[in-house]
Amino acid sequence: MTNKDEIKVEGATVPVYTYEKDGITYYEFDTSELGPPEPMVNALSVLNLIDSSNKRAVMINHKKPMGLFDKISDRFDYKVEELNGKYRIEFWLKESK
């Protein structure tokens, strides 16, 4: 079981948790109970923390955030997985896959 610590992120309106796995630091947050634009506000706030190849953000949302993808796809790559009717989206810096 991975230990998750809650951290304070400027601009985020939901709790953000951090944990390490395979040498990568993850920042995880859940916006599945939030309506637009809060998922994007939280995602953009957390993505500010991703400044190196060993950091990744994990977003849990009720839908695929297509508008967000448009906004960040020049800087980040991402993958989407379906998770019990919700979506888990993992972001990392481009060229650091």
Return all residues near 76 (Cβ < 8 A) that are at least 6 apart: 47, 50, 91, 92, 93, 94
CB-nearer residue toward other proteins: 3 or 64: 64
CB-nearer residue toward other proteins: 3 or 66: 66
What element of type H or E holds 47?
helix 38-47
In whole angstroms, the minimum distance from the beta carbon of 68 to other proteins comes to: 9
CB-nearer residue toward other proteins: 3 or 74: 74
Strand partners, 61: 87
By CB under 8 A, name the binding residues for other proteins. 10-11, 32-38, 40-41, 44-45, 48, 62-64, 66-67, 69-71, 73, 77-82, 85-86
